[in-house]
Amino acid sequence: MTSKHTGFPRLYFATIFSLKGLKAAFQSESAFRQELAAMVILIPIACYVDISLVERLMLIMSLFIVLITELLNSAVEALADRVSSEIHVLIAKAKDIGSAAVFVSLILAAIVWGSILL
C-alpha cells in the first residue's frame, strides 16, 4: 500500500504528475498540440484587442475550456484503450461522448469569440 503525502509534499507530487500528464498529452495527442498552437496565437490577440477585462478573460477562459476538455477526452480514450482493444459498443460510446464534449467546447469558444469580437 502506498503512503499518502500531505501538505507541501502532496502539492509537489501533484505538480510533478500534472506536468507528466501535460507532457504525455503533448507528445501523443495531435489535437492537443493543435489546440495549444491556436492558444499561442489567440491569447495575444485577446490581449491586444480593445475590450473590457471581463471580455478578455472570457476569450481566454473559453480557450482553456477547450484544452481542459481535450485532456479529459484523451484520458477517457487512453483508459478505454487500456481496458480493451476490441470494438465494444460501450467503449465506442464513451469515446464518442468524449469527442462530443470537445466539439461542444469548440462551439462554445467560437460563440464567445464571435460574440465579443464581431
55, 70, 77, 86: the catalytic one is 70
Query: In sequence order, what DSSP letters do the residues of 59-101 get, joined into one string?
Result: HHHHHHHHHHHHHHHHHHHHHHHHH-SS--HHHHHHHHHHHHH
First to last CA, the chain: 56
**Do residues 92 and 73 lie in contact, with contact meaning Cβ atoms separated by under 8 Å?**
no
Quick check: is 29 catalytic?
A: no
Catalytic amino acids? 70
